[in-house]
Chains A and B, each alone.
Chain A
Amino acid sequence: MYGKGGIGKSTIVSNIAAALSENGKTIIVMGCDPKSDMTRNLIGKRIPTVLDLFRSKGADKMEPEDVVFKGFNGVYCIEAGGPEPGVGCAGRGVITAVDMLDRLGVFNDIEPDTVIYDVLGDVVCGGFAMPLRQGLADDVYIVTTCDPMAIYAANNICKGIKRFANRSAVTLGGIIYNGRSVVDEPSIVEGLADRLGTKVLGRVPMSLLVPRAELRRKTVIEYAPDSEIADTFRDLATAICENKDRVMPDPLSDDELDEINEEIEVLLKEREEN
């Protein structure tokens, strides 16, 4: 799962993982963001990260149980971790963490049905493209709102996917639309998906239940299992699992992005006038 920072990836990943676990699936979620808080809603607290253990114990003394924790409904949770802001190399950290997990045989031992990587913001460097390489991920799903910068980031991620097209089998599975931005107009994101050659797999509407659940460090699947928003996440999880349309995206040019921005501007003006 990729998308601009703060776009709601962690919320969506944790809820999809929780939804999939309700069907008896074995799920691993791995946070690939130095802030290491994606799994908090599944476990109820922060967990030690792979890189924390690498730093304190060293690679040779790490055990799978040091870094893999069971959360809500048996979802396996891992956080890659990373350096403090402003030092070291977070991108290299993702590569190191994935390498450690590989050496520990975590994926082979657990034999998951699905692994979901929650990757930091944009594909800023080779490290954050790690899940796209070496066959780690099969499909990429991009979360975006109608905000121009979110769309810009989504397009950049597609450039990353295309770059690795010749080296791995990773493809774009689709777009997940988060409708919590100032302009909430699905047609904008559908237009983006069309141009990229993919489709919108689901829309996550604004819901007060999401922040309420997160304040209690829970997913809405756990906090409000009978709510409409919980069903939205269940539907999204199903759509992703049943998705057969995987494409190599055709990233937009700057001019094409400007056209989308103009559409957004028109919508903003209409909103101001009303």
Chain B
Amino acid sequence: MDGGKFFGAFRASSGITDAVVLNHVPVGCNWGAAIFKTTSNQFDMRHACTVMHEREIVFGGEDALREALIRADELYDTPLLLVIAGDAPSIIGDDVEAVVNSVTLDAEVMWMEAAGFKGSMMDGYEEALLRLAGLMKESETIQGSVNLIGFSPDDFKVDADVKEIKQLLLDAGVEVNTVISKCSLEEFRRAPAAELNVVLGQGTLLAEQMKKELGLPYLKMDYPYGLDGTAHFVNAISEELGTGHEPEFDIEPFKRVYLYLHELYGTPVSVIGDFHAEAMANFLDGELGFNVEVSARNEDDYFAFEEEVRNSNTTILFGSSFEQNIAETLNIPLIRFCYPVFDNVCVYDDAPYAGFRGAVCLTEAIINTVMSYGGMNK
């Protein structure tokens, strides 16, 4: 199950936290993007829309786009307007570039074509970052600093996770220069100042391009779930940068929660999600001692995943809000850990799932979910 290229571009672009995204799409696509914000982060509504209706489909959406650009520039105090042309303007061939070039605005304008039918959400994310790379400016290298690439502003637990990862790296003598894509325009512009790009699951094309054009190396890492996963994450980055710093890890809180895990050892679980899924499965299997029966990525055959889970002994499902139905059908608890989560909120930015403290929070969440579920059928 995949949101398509448009949503990938929307997520990457929304990550420039002081930019405004102008969706050049029919009303429904924008509604989807907006309604999700109301649960993921309703304090961060920074997008406008041309709201294409039948008139714009028949006669073209160029006039509507021009008007929307002018109005968005008036309404928002933003340094950057990011225009994303979705399915309908791509089908009817709106000349977005010509419209963008025809207006003079206070804000800088960048546009990208991201028809949902032209690729996956990851394709949209990757291509949007390549487009956004045009905003970067030559910067003096900050020794011992890294960019984290692969985030989206609507990832579940993103604020808490980024805060945790930044602190962990800082404790290891590594400064996070820019989080892509969850940073200000200024931070994004200075991304070339980092000594190393760390790619978490997506954004490899940007890292490749920065390596080719700027000589900036990159390291592909799994998302830092669990003690081992986090230690490996921090150590690998420290080693790559040659900081010579021996990070010390405080795992005392985890030891306290670990006592509750005895009863759950060998619990059969299944995991599905975006790039977070594999790291999560490794944590559940390698550190908590769960038995991962089915592990799948969003881009895999969802019906096959459902069937495999149904035919397995799965007693806890790890995924997104999309897995509500299958969890309800099988009468098993669902732990939400990755995009999209629209039936839970994560407002507090100090309860991560990533990092050492994240391992505690995550394990606590699993135990609480199981204890409050009222027993399992299987």
Contact = CB atoms under 8 A, between A and B. Distances in A.
A215 interface: no
B60 A87 contact: yes
Interface residues of B, number: 12
A197 interface: no
A55 B55 contact: yes
A10 interface: no
Of B54, B56, B59, most A-chain CB atoms within 10 Å: B59
A105 to B, nearest CB: 19
Contacts of A92: 54, 57-58, 92
Contacts of A89: 57-58, 60, 91-92
A147 B20 CA distance: 55
Interface in A207-222: none
B18 interface: no
Contacts of B60: 83-84, 87-89
Nearest to A34: B58
Nearest to B92: A89
Contacts of A82: 58
A59 B55 CA distance: 10
B154 interface: no
A51 interface: yes
A93 interface: yes
Interface in A36-56: 51, 54-55
A54 B54 CA distance: 10
A54 B57 CA distance: 12
Nearest to B63: A87
B62 interface: yes
A96 interface: yes
B91 A96 contact: no
Contacts of B92: 87-89, 92
Nearest to A59: B54
B166 to A, nearest CB: 48
A51 B55 CA distance: 9
Nearest to B56: A88
B108 to A, nearest CB: 26
A87 B58 CA distance: 8
Interface in A80-126: 82-84, 87-90, 92-93, 96
A96 B55 CA distance: 9
Interface of A: 51, 54-55, 59, 82-84, 87-90, 92-93, 96
24 contacts: A51-B58, A51-B59, A54-B58, A55-B55, A55-B59, A59-B54, A83-B58, A84-B59, A84-B60, A87-B60, A87-B62, A87-B92, A87-B93, A88-B57, A88-B58, A89-B57, A89-B60, A89-B92, A92-B58, A92-B92, A93-B58, A93-B59, A96-B57, A96-B58
The 8 closest A-B pairs by CB, nearest first: A87-B60, A88-B60, A89-B92, A93-B58, A88-B59, A83-B59, A92-B57, A92-B58
